Amino acid sequence: MPASTLTIDLNALTGNWRALDALSAASTETAAVVKADAYGLGVAGTCPALHRAGVSSFFTALTQEAVAVRQAIGQDADIYSFSGYSARTAADLKQHNLIPVLSAPEHVQDFLEAGSPQPFAVQLDTGMNRMGLEPAEFAALKERILGAKPALILSHLACADEPDHPQNTAQLRAFKGMTDGLGLRRSLAATGGTLLGPEYQFDLCRTGIGMYGGAPFAAASPVVTVSIPVLQIRDVAVGESVGYGAAWVAKRPTRLATIAAGYADGLIRAMCFGNVSLFSKGTACPMVGRVSMDLITVDITDLDHRPEALEILNATQTVDKLADQAGTIGYEMLTSLGGRYNRVYVGGQSNTGTP
């Protein structure tokens, strides 16, 4: 069975990064958040292009992800790991010159007591209550932290995709209250915070989803196309049913294409209860019946040709539109796509083709 193809437009990716970078002052750095294998698009395929485009700081969730970024781009960039510092990860952090983001008092203490000369960052909690030092915890450790000269001090906004949410200004106030006057490099904004404007941008913005073409960066260029091979084409008569549960019944003589991907490819079953199309040469064909593990059925009656493949993600049906039909968000859509796709990278200067 031929693999589905996930095509990543590196020019769109780097263009989105540049567009986000242009929203902040020249003195504000725009870093790339590449956790979860670059939001499912592949660290090895995307990070070198971002690095060539000018990204000099990368953020990951896990130490092993940070190691993979180091291996993809070489020594000449700062790579942060949100998972912090522990005895278990210390050796990797040191060997690969990674910057742990210390987000709990124990992490700060363990790191400082280990006496490692490597750079580190500190995350503060300004109201999200997920990660980071609370104001009192920070106050108790402040002198020791300042003495060790953190490379960056950061916090994360809970509601930045809702510009009018009162928690944005509350978190901004809390962050300034904890960090004003300390003379440290500061970062508060992810994609949503970057879009909230200069007050939120400080010295470094940590952009993720916007680079990959997702909301809330409405001006983003689409980065991802997913094309799924057609396995079979068949005609069904009025009254015949299709797929599990016989859930869809033909109301007209229907030409069906069965395509080679399903919920095991992150095309979650919930999307068959929404209004999802698959595309051939720009023509939308409705998904019909239940999504199976490895198969989806599509009504191609209105096509004037026999398609070899159908697209489920493209510039028309973007990650956010598809996610919305499945009751989820673009972030989850992208990171769920999984390992069965043939990832193909196009554009990005010299980096054409699969790495």
Ligand X SMILES: *Cc1c(COP(=O)(O)O)cnc(C)c1O
Q: Which is nearer to ligand X, 101 or 228 (CB)?
A: 101
Q: Taking CB under 6 A as the rule, does residue 263 contact ligand X?
A: no
Q: Does 107 bind ligand X (CB under 6 A)?
A: no
Of the candidate residues 206, 289, 291, 320, the single one contacting ligand X (CB under 6 A)? 206
What is the pairing mode between strands 241-242 and 309-313? unpaired
Token code pair at residue 200: 């939120």
Question: Whose CB is nearest to ligand X?
Answer: 208
Which of 17, 58, 80, 82 binds ligand X (CB under 6 A)? It is 82
CA 106 vs CA 113, 151, 240: distances in Å: 10, 19, 63
Q: How far is the CB of 161 from ligand X (least distance, A)?
A: 8
* Region from 190-198, 222-230, 235-243, 304-312 binding ligand X, contact rule CB under 6 A: 190-198
C-beta closer to ligand X: residue 130 or 173? 130
Find the farthest-apart pair of alpha carbons in the chain and give their distance in angstroms, rounded.
Answer: 77
In the list 208, 262, 289, 330, the residue contacting ligand X (rule: CB under 6 A) is 208
- 94 is annotated as an active-site residue: no
Residue 200 appears among annotated catalytic residues: no
209 interacts with ligand X by CB under 6 A: yes
Site for ligand X in 7-66 (CB under 6 A): 33, 35
Query: Which span sits near ligand X by CB under 6 A: 170-178, 204-212, 232-240, 251-259?
Result: 204-212
Buried b (16+ CB within 10 A) or exposed e, 63-89: bebbbbbbebbeeebbbbbbbbbeeeb
Q: Which stretch binds ligand X (CB under 6 A): 3-11, 136-144, 187-195, 272-280?
A: 187-195
- Choose among 166, 228, 200: nearest CA to 28: 200
Q: Say if residue 216 is preceded by a cis peptide, omega within 30 of 0.
A: yes
| Shortest distance in whole angstroms from residue 117 CB to ligand X | 25
SS3 breakdown of the chain: % helix, strand, coil, rounded to 5? 35, 25, 45
Q: Which of 35, 39, 200, 345 is catalytic?
A: 35
In SS3 terms, 217-271 reads as: CCCCCCCEEEEEEEEEEEEECCCCEECHHHCEECCCCEEEEEECCCHHHCCCHHH
Q: Using CB under 6 A, list all residues that contact ligand X.
A: 33, 35, 82, 156, 190-192, 206-210
Active site residues: 35, 244
